[in-house]
């Protein structure tokens, strides 16, 4: 996830893929851009629409042509679609901005140079989270209206028939309360987590696919990741600010503190996963398989919050009591 530039998938294609035909990157770019745009409109595949773009960047080592091609193609399609609907033009500019920023953020993470990948993740995810929050709170997005309707279908809206179907949830989980909770969650780090998750998953899949196709390891993953040295101070300051703003009811500072806390927690979570991955690499294949299944079971159980908290704590402790043999300075 967070590698130094010499280990990143942005190394030039001549060094990583010698002998590649000079025309194949252009063909791959157009094919993968088409796949990306198709994924965006195809159900669950929409979660992985950035993977094809990441693959092209792994292949070529440059990100700006990939960004320009994907963003331009998406804007053209959105304009055509908007003018085919009477009210489509109203929301088109903000939606186009949102997707363009997503394309730029991800491609920069994949291929940008001169800055540690961890910092690129933080910057890109933060900017995209801000644009995303602006978009979903705009009058034309309809995001929370759709969320409220979904909550109404699941938990009821006061109708007696629906309340009978959901007797335990109809009183406590009203659509209004759930919508307010969603707004609070997204504003206090939820949007940021979503961006981190989106970029991380797409990046890892893109690198994994490229590694399998080329039969060579391109990325070391989180096993060599260490958090920036001053993260603990930001983490401690965010916790203290959250407590103080909760007492004195300072809304803006509370939102900022929660988002800073989220960034630090994600960084330490990544380091904790790196430690766990290192430990697993020292064991047999059977042991790794058993642990992997156990991890999946725990993540989809009520214990998932405790497991995540334990990994964050493991990441923090690893800074003072290193659990891995040698730090690689990533």
Reported as a single tens digit per residue, the pLDDT across 211-261 is: 888 777 777 678 888 888 889 999 999 999 999 998 888 889 999 999 999
Task: Return the H-helix or E-strand segment holding 291.
Answer: helix 285-299
The arithmetic mean of pLDDT across residues 204-208, rounded, is 91
More confident residue, 142 or 8: 142
For residue 5, name the pLDDT band (cuts at 50, 70, 90). Answer: very low
For residue 267, name the pLDDT band (cuts at 50, 70, 90). Answer: very high
Residue 299: what pLDDT? 78
Task: Return the H-helix or E-strand segment holding 21.
Answer: none
- Measured in degrees and rounded to the nearest 5, phi and psi for residue 187 equal -70, -30
The arithmetic mean of pLDDT across residues 253-278, rounded, is 93
Mean pLDDT for all residues in the chain: 82
Residue 28: what pLDDT? 85
Question: Structure tokens of 33?
Answer: 């851009």
Q: What is the rounded distance in angstroms from the CA atom of residue 195 to the CA atom of residue 127?
A: 9
Residue 213: what pLDDT? 83
Query: Could you tell me the residue ranges of all domains in the chain?
Result: 1-138+192-219, 224-330
Residue 69: what pLDDT? 94
Q: What is the rounded distance in angstroms from the CA atom of residue 26 to the CA atom of residue 273?
A: 36
**Which of 75-89, 158-172, 284-298 has the largest mean confidence?**
284-298
Question: Would you say residue 19 has pLDDT above 60?
Answer: no
Question: Would you say residue 51 has pLDDT above 90?
Answer: yes
- Maximum distance among all alpha carbons in the chain? 69
Task: Return the H-helix or E-strand segment holding 98.
Answer: helix 88-111
More confident residue, 215 or 263: 263
More confident residue, 329 or 320: 320
The arithmetic mean of pLDDT across residues 6-26, rounded, is 50
The arithmetic mean of pLDDT across residues 291-299, rounded, is 82
The arithmetic mean of pLDDT across residues 302-317, rounded, is 89
Q: Is the dihedral of CA 215, 218, 220, 222 positive or negative?
A: negative
């Amino acid at each position: 996830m967070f590698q130094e530039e010499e280990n990143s998938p942005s190394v030039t294609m001549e060094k990583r893929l010698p002998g590649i035909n000079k025309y194949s990157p252009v063909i791959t770019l157009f094919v993968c851009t088409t796949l990306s745009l198709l994924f965006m409109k195809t159900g669950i595949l929409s979660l992985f629409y950035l993977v094809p773009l990441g693959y092209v960047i792994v292949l070529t080592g440059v990100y700006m042509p990939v960004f320009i091609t994907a963003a331009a193609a998406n804007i053209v399609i959105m304009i055509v679609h908007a003018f085919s609907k009477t009210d489509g033009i109203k929301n088109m500019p903000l939606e186009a901005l949102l997707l363009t920023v997503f394309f730029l953020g991800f491609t920069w993470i994949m291929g940008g140079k001169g800055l540690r990948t961890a910092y690129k993740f933080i910057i890109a995810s933060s900017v995209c989270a801000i644009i995303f929050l602006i978009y979903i709170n705009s009058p034309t997005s309809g995001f929370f209206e759709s969320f409220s309707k979904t909550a109404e279908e699941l938990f009821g809206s006061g109708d007696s028939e629906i309340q009978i179907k959901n007797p335990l949830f109809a009183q406590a989980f009203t659509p209004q309360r759930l919508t307010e909770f969603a707004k609070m969650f997204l504003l206090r780090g939820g949007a940021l987590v979503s961006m981190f998750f989106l970029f991380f998953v797409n990046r890892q899949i893109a690198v994994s696919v490229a590694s399998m196709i080329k039969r060579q390891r391109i990325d070391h993953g989180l096993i060599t990741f260490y958090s920036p040295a001053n993260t603990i101070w930001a983490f401690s300051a965010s916790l203290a600010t959250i407590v103080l703003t909760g007492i004195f009811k300072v809304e803006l500072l509370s939102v900022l503190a929660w988002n800073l806390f989220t960034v630090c927690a994600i960084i330490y979570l990544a380091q904790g996963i790196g430690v766990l991955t290192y430990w697993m690499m020292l064991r047999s294949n059977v042991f790794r398989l058993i642990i992997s299944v156990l991890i999946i079971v725990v993540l989809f159980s009520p214990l998932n919050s405790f497991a995540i908290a334990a990994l964050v704590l493991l990441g923090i402790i690893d800074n003072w009591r290193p659990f891995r043999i040698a730090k690689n300075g990533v």
